[in-house]
Structure 1
Amino acid sequence: MPSAKILVVDDEPDLEALITQKFRRQIRQGLVTFLFAHDGQEALDRLSDNRDVDLVVSDINMPRMDGLTLLAKLQDLAERPSTIIVSAYGDMANIRTAMNRGAFDFLTKPIDFVDLETTIERTLRHVEALREGRRRQSLAERAHASLARYFSPNLAERLAGDASGLELGGHRRDVASLFTDIAGFTSLVESLDPAQLAEILNGYFAEMTDVVFAHEGTVAKIVGDALHVLFGAPGDQPDHAARAVDCALALDQVAEGFRARWRERGIEIGVTRIGVHAGPAIVGNFGGGRYFDYTAYGDTINTAARLENANKAFGTRICVSEAVVIRAGQFRGRPLGDLLLRGKQTALRAYEPLTEAVYGDAPLAQYQDAYAKLDAGEAGALAAFAALVGLRPDDGVAAFHLKRLLNGGSGSRVEVR
């Protein structure tokens, strides 16, 4: 047991010498330190100067302020020390009052010093148990506050109670990785004052992370204006791909609303581009033991980042891989092409997820028909996309494929750098 500090409050003139003599071994070994006061008022003054007192041993009948009044005042202290009350046999009514007011134990006079030592040891064990409980609670609260930056509130609460799964190191698991980035934000930063930049970014990430947490995603990293989100880690989520698609659509809606509000204030913020891919990755806490850094590594993560960038070519805001579409099950969207991403040897089919309202539009069927011709290498693809662009000139994807075909391109394979 660590060293304990005990305040003895009693007006008997010889008690200080007796206690110092009886506990000389413990005092010499540094196991215990005694302070002394002669009444309740003096005790409060000593406690004010010594906030690390673990235990108060107090008589009841004393001048100026008795032990019961002292006990009542101790309950108002932020660091309330445990208390042993000492009184005579004939004073049992007062002892009962003391126990009702929060005293941990009592002793009767004349003091049996063997009994006093035993009672003090028992009380100090109780004090240590309380301290350990408070320490664990404080650690859990700090852990929850830290984890809440990364995880949805319910997951953060569960991990704060048992964060063994977040120990230093990583493990391989299937995840869906989602990246966001604001187009042209670096240039915009140069025209903003620091206060306005902080207002924009703080508001943007507050809204975006709320969406992520609503879908029980994990914020792996925020760098500049970019957000990296994981689904399927650290907790198992069999529907991680479907969650990622739903989250991407919700993030797009929030980001567009955010842009519209700032446009009204005279500031044009670029679109938020989103890329999503699913597959194996190594995930875990790679903080080096000094700080918490829950993140993920692997080709799945790199591909998701590349898909976010691929939106630039198509004029889309969301681009997801075929791996996501297959895992998601019921998927509403349209194919964009077979993308040969930077650093890749094999093409990857990508899709644009669509809201239910857009998915029901008649022009989508026309796009699907045009894309089928493109995919099959049919000559009629050019006319089909030309007709679609005439019908919907703001369709960036149709315009992209029409331009490719007019420039002599063919098929659905697209090189994206």
Structure 2
Amino acid sequence: MTATILFVDDEPDLEALILQKFRRQIRDGQLALIFARDGLEALESLEENPHVDMVVSDINMPRMDGLSLLAKLQETEDKKSTVIVSAYGDMSNIRTAMNRGAFDFLTKPIDFADLEATIDKTIRHVEMLREVRRRQVAAERAHAALSRHFSPELAKRLAAGGEGEGIEVQWRNVATIFTDITGFTSLVESAPPETLGELLNEYVGGMTEIVFAHEGTVAKIIGDAIQVLFNAPGDQPDYATRAVACAHDLDAWAQDFCARQKAKSVNIGTTRIGIHAGPALVGNFGGNRFFDYTAYGDSINIAARLEAANKHLGTRICVSASVAEAAENFQGRPVGDLILRGRSEPLRAFEPLPRAKFEAPETALYSEAFAKMEAGDAGAMPAFAALVGMHADDPLAGFHLKRLLNGAKGTRMQLE
């Protein structure tokens, strides 16, 4: 690295003397020297050469003295490290210079060994400051990238931990949430761009805040669809419990959002949510240029399929048995054994319920009807018929009744 130094002094012989004393460093590319005769000329030179590393300035000069120049330099954003030169007996000016932010001082007549040592010390200080700034900028960039995926506190910890720490690609057991809005494509085609942009920003922003409140990780946002991870990048032993609680809050917020939009004559569809827990390949897949923290694997695909299954079932939230079994005090009702698109083996699924609905009498009636259907009991059809008769707003009960009326038996069902 070549250090560039600006010497500011009105003595006519100084330039030749300095060039002579530092000829070896100049020849070897260690130093580049610039000269100015007073403070005003120095400021003009700095405008033309913003890469100057340090300034060595005399105090007594015409037009603008060294103390005035120092004050001007301290007002700039890129404060140059400045060494002030003055007569030995002029300690009051030297004290003023140090109070105004001078890095160091030299006395006249200049001892060139002392000058060389002072230059070396100042350049090391400049390089240290630049390294600190570089790391700060890198940390700010890392934090900005991490903030798209992680809660604010977690983003701070990851950014402070250094680039790549904690986000390397690895296999982890995770709980994955997928959310999607029904009929959003139609809304995109019909809504004015400004309305759509405002709506989508509010929706994604609100949903993301809920995810972060539960300390989840936003792995992907594609339009209205959101993919969320728990137990990544850090360990969360209660990740299944967190995922279910987060899903309930997402569902409640999305319903309220839908109602608010309807009051504005904007019809937005229901948000569907799917959750599955299992192993996945998780980490930053963005390479060196981009940061893309996400997850891949069969368990991720299952969560997406469960989200889509809601459309057939009439439910808003559908979770796999791996989630229901791992979540603490899970409250919900069985949906059935689903053969999801692209899979041959059935997967037991559940509909998680808020406490009030779980404890309601109709949930017990549903469980009784489901048990009969699972056992192949002929009483399943009238049991579901009675439940639908009392609660026509229960789409899952209506789904099973329709299946039974169409001749289906048991709890295994193929979903396309």
TM-score by length of 1: 0.97
Cα distance in 1 between the residues matched to 2:110 and 2:164: 53
Alignment correspondent of 1:351: 350
Question: Structure 1 segments of 4 or more deviating over 3 A?
Answer: 163-169
Instruction: Give the SS at the match of 2:75.
Output: coil
Alignment correspondent of 1:315: 314
Cα distance in 1 between the residues matched to 2:135 and 2:297: 36
Shift, 1:404, TM fit: 0.9
Between 1:406-415 and 1:297-306, the stretch displaced more is 406-415
Shift, 1:289, TM fit: 2.9
Alignment correspondent of 1:371: 370
User: CA-atom RMSD, angstroms?
Assistant: 1.4
Instruction: Give the SS at the match of 1:75.
Output: helix
For each residue in 1:152-203, what CA deviation from the matched residue of structure 2 results, as whole angstroms up to 9, or x when unmatched?
1111111111245558862111100110111111122111222222122111
User: Structure 1 stretches of 5 or more lacking a match?
Assistant: none
Alignment correspondent of 1:286: 285
Cα distance in 1 between the residues matched to 2:323 and 2:215: 17
Cα distance in 2 between the residues matched to 1:60 and 1:155: 51
Paired letter, 1:33: A
Instruction: Give the SS at the match of 2:290.
Output: coil
Alignment correspondent of 1:397: 396
Structure 1 residue 112 corresponds to structure 2 residue 111: yes
Paired letter, 2:415: V
Shift, 1:72, TM fit: 1.7
Cα distance in 1 between the residues matched to 2:396 and 2:303: 19
Alignment correspondent of 2:180: 181
Contact kept in structure 2, 1:234 and 1:284, CA below 8 Å: yes
Contact kept in structure 1, 2:167 and 2:233, CA below 8 Å: no
Cα distance in 2 between the residues matched to 1:278 and 1:43: 66
Instruction: Give the SS at the match of 2:249.
Output: helix
Alignment correspondent of 1:42: 41
Alignment correspondent of 2:170: 171
Alignment correspondent of 2:359: 360
Alignment correspondent of 1:71: 70
Structure 1 residue 18 corresponds to structure 2 residue 17: yes
Structure 1 residue 219 corresponds to structure 2 residue 218: yes
Instruction: Give the SS at the match of 2:368.
Output: helix
Shift, 1:96, TM fit: 1.8
Between 1:33-42 and 1:330-339, the stretch displaced more is 33-42
Structure 1 residue 247 corresponds to structure 2 residue 246: yes
Cα distance in 2 between the residues matched to 1:164 and 1:128: 21
Cα distance in 2 between the residues matched to 1:76 and 1:58: 17
Cα distance in 2 between the residues matched to 1:128 and 1:32: 14
Contact kept in structure 2, 1:282 and 1:298, CA below 8 Å: yes
Give 1:16-165 correspondences, 5 Å limit.
16-165=15-164
Distance 1:21 1:106, change over 3 A: same
Cα distance in 1 between the residues matched to 2:253 and 2:145: 25
Between 1:314-323 and 1:70-79, the stretch displaced more is 70-79
Shift, 1:64, TM fit: 2.2
Shift, 1:327, TM fit: 1.2
Shift, 1:29, TM fit: 2.4
Paired letter, 1:214: A
Instruction: Give the SS at the match of 1:349.
Output: strand
Contact kept in structure 1, 2:334 and 2:350, CA below 8 Å: yes
Cα distance in 2 between the residues matched to 1:379 and 1:307: 29
Cα distance in 2 between the residues matched to 1:168 and 1:206: 23
Shift, 1:42, TM fit: 2.0
Contact kept in structure 2, 1:168 and 1:289, CA below 8 Å: no
Cα distance in 2 between the residues matched to 1:164 and 1:11: 49
Instruction: Give the SS at the match of 2:169.
Output: strand
Shift, 1:338, TM fit: 1.1
Query: Could you tell me the percent identity over the aligned residues?
Result: 65
Paired letter, 1:113: F
Alignment correspondent of 1:306: 305
Shift, 1:331, TM fit: 0.8
Cα distance in 2 between the residues matched to 1:234 and 1:78: 38
Structure 1 residue 414 corresponds to structure 2 residue 394: no
Cα distance in 2 between the residues matched to 1:122 and 1:165: 34
Shift, 1:49, TM fit: 2.4
Instruction: Give the SS at the match of 2:90.
Output: helix
Contact kept in structure 2, 1:179 and 1:226, CA below 8 Å: yes
Instruction: Give the SS at the match of 1:319.
Output: strand
Alignment correspondent of 2:338: 339
Cα distance in 1 between the residues matched to 2:361 and 2:13: 99
